[in-house]
């Protein structure tokens, strides 16, 4: 059920036109959205990117300061564009194109059909699926994606890299996969955790294509080495560009140590505002360990469904990383429709969607009450971020249950539609 060219062109043209129309019709909207804490975090904000560009073009090191925390190679690339404040069209076009490319990658993932049937596992419900067009439309017209695109946050670039890495892994294209995954890791660090499940996916895809694939060990070593080389090359290029290794502390150091406590939709900021100084380092370690712990657990248990593991991990990132934004959640929520066959097995869809909706409407309102109206305090927004994270984690947990139940139906068809228990 591949996306036919006409349908695809119409869909992409519509989405592109909608974005450009919004940019043109509401010229103040992009800046307003870029100022929203839900969309722009200290590590992805467009305003900070502009400041970094300004410092870079004026020969001040952007990393010798506390404002710019994004990757160095973005600077020479984006400095080619005309200034966003004078000629916003070029930047708007860039972010629209990035969104369309991400949608294209998502379409490719859907086309491979690896969500429901992989080398080692084929779901008994694989016939229940949405067309690629529907999935792509779900991504392109999701209000979260639209808002993130309008805010021009650099999470869009990370999302593009992650989706392309998934697409390339499901197609079995090793080199491109390694390049885009290292680019994603270079931009935001945490996509590195997607490497094990995507490597498994790549291996399966390669084995499907040619029956004489290398041994798993050689394959893993080769690709790990390739990833290290690609990441290393990007880092060395950045160091050559900025003239020092200071950028490591200002980009990855900030993600690891959280010196900037600007509010966002995640769980870390308020926790570390209120944390006692002597326990700060301990809890930073615990929180990062917590994020990293999902990758091995999920990859080992769900070895047969690596694409599902990768999608679930993007959900984990949207909840548990230090600077998550709505753009991360948008990525996860648009990957969910790939697993349409699991929907009948999910138990808490109403609760989860209700709490996500509740948080998306009340979040901005409560933030306004706290910061602008002064009639609420920080706990208002904090409570909403808790609800948001809880809603997303219900979706993650529920879809995981559905995936395991689906697996059980294949292993033991006699238990289909029967009540099961965990032991």
- Where along the sequence are the contacts to other proteins (CB under 8 A)? 35, 37, 47, 50-51, 53-55, 58, 60, 64-67, 85, 259-263, 267, 269-277, 287, 290, 293-294, 297-298, 301, 319-320, 370-372, 374, 377-379, 382, 386, 389-390, 393, 396-397, 400-401, 404-405, 408, 412, 414-415, 418-423
What tokens does 319 get?
């909840």
- In whole angstroms, the minimum distance from the beta carbon of 270 to other proteins comes to 6
Question: Least distance (Å) from other proteins to the CB of residue 280?
Answer: 8
Question: Which one, 139 or 287, has the nearer CB to other proteins?
Answer: 287
The whole-angstrom separation of Cα 188 and Cα 169 is 19
> Minimum distance between the CB of residue 149 and other proteins, rounded to whole angstroms?
22
Q: Is the CB of 87 or the CB of 412 nearer to other proteins?
A: 412
116 φ, ψ (degrees, to nearest 5) = -105, -25
Of residues 91 and 171, the one with the C-beta less far from other proteins: 91
Give me the DSSP letters along 183-211.
HHHHHHSGGGGGHHHHHHHHHHHHHHH-S
Residue closer to other proteins (CB basis): 99 or 409: 409
Alpha-carbon Rg for the chain in angstroms? 21
Evaluate the CA torsion angle 410, 393, 255, 100 in order and state its sign: positive
The nearest distance, CB 423 to other proteins, in angstroms, is 6
Cβ atoms of 184 and 161 closer than 8 Å: yes
Residue with Cβ nearer other proteins (5 or 419): 419
CB of 395 to other proteins, least distance (A): 11
With respect to other proteins, which residue has the nearer C-beta, 138 or 306? 306
Residue 172: name the closest of 211, 208, 222 by CA: 208
Least spacing, CB of residue 240 vs other proteins, in Å = 22
Whole-number minimum distance, CB 407 to other proteins, in Å? Answer: 8
CA end-to-end span of the chain, whole Å?
A: 39
Rounded distance, CA 81 to CA 79, Å?
5
Q: Looking at beta carbons only, is 113 or 376 nearer to other proteins?
A: 376
Residue 244 or 379: the one with the smaller Cβ distance to other proteins is: 379
Of the candidates 307, 291, 297, which has an alpha carbon nearest to the alpha carbon of residue 202?
307
> Shortest gap between Cβ of 409 and other proteins (angstroms)?
10
Q: How far apart are CA 85 and CA 136, in angstroms?
A: 31
Task: Let me know if 368 is exposed, middle or buried by CB neighbors in 10 A (0-12, 13-18, 19+).
Answer: middle
CA distances from 172 to 147, 199, 201 (A): 32, 10, 8
Question: Are 349 and 131 contacting, i.e. CB atoms less than 8 angstroms apart?
Answer: no
Q: CA–CA separation, 236 vs 241, rounded Å?
A: 8
């Amino acid at each position: 059920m591949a996306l036919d060219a006409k349908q695809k062109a119409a869909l992409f043209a519509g989405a592109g036109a909608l974005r450009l129309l919004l940019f043109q019709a509401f010229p103040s909207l992009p800046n307003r959205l870029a100022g929203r804490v839900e969309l722009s975090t200290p590590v992805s904000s467009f305003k900070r990117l502009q400041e970094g560009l300004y410092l870079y073009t004026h020969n001040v090191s952007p990393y010798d300061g506390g404002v710019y925390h994004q990757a160095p190679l973005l600077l020479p690339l984006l400095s080619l564009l005309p200034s966003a404040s004078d000629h916003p069209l070029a930047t708007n076009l860039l972010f629209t194109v990035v969104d369309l490319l991400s949608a294209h990658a998502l379409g490719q993932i859907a086309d491979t059909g690896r969500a429901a049937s992989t080398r080692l596992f084929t779901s008994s419900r694989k016939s229940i699926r949405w067309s690629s067009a529907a999935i792509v439309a779900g991504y392109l017209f999701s209000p979260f994606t639209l808002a993130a695109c309008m805010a021009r946050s650099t999470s869009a670039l990370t999302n593009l890299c992650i989706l392309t890495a998934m697409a390339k892994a499901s197609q079995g294209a090793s080199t491109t996969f390694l390049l885009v995954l290292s680019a994603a890791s270079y931009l935001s660090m945490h996509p590195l955790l997607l490497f094990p499940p995507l490597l498994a996916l790549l291996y399966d895809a390669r084995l499907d294509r040619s029956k004489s694939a290398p041994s798993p060990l050689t394959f893993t070593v080769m690709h790990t080495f390739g990833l290290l080389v690609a990441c290393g090359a990007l880092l060395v290029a950045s160091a050559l560009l900025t003239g020092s290794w200071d950028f490591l502390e200002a980009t990855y150091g900030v993600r690891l140590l959280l010196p900037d406590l600007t509010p966002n939709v995640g769980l870390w900021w308020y926790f570390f505002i209120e944390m006692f100084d002597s326990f700060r380092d301990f809890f930073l370690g615990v929180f990062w360990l917590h994020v990293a712990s999902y990758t091995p657990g999920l990859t080992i248990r769900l070895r047969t469904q690596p694409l599902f593991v990768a999608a679930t991990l993007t959900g984990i990132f949207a909840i548990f990383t230090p600077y998550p934004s709505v753009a991360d959640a948008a990525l996860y929520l648009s990957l969910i429709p790939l697993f349409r066959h699991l929907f009948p097995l999910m138990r808490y869809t109403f609760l989860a969607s209700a709490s996500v909706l509740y948080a998306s409407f009340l979040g901005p309102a409560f933030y306004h009450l706290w910061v602008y109206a002064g009639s609420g305090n920080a706990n208002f927004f904090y409570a909403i971020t808790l609800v948001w994270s809880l809603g997303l984690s219900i979706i993650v947990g529920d879809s995981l249950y559905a995936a395991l139940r689906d697996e059980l139906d294949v292993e033991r068809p006699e238990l289909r539609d029967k009540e099961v228990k965990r032991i």
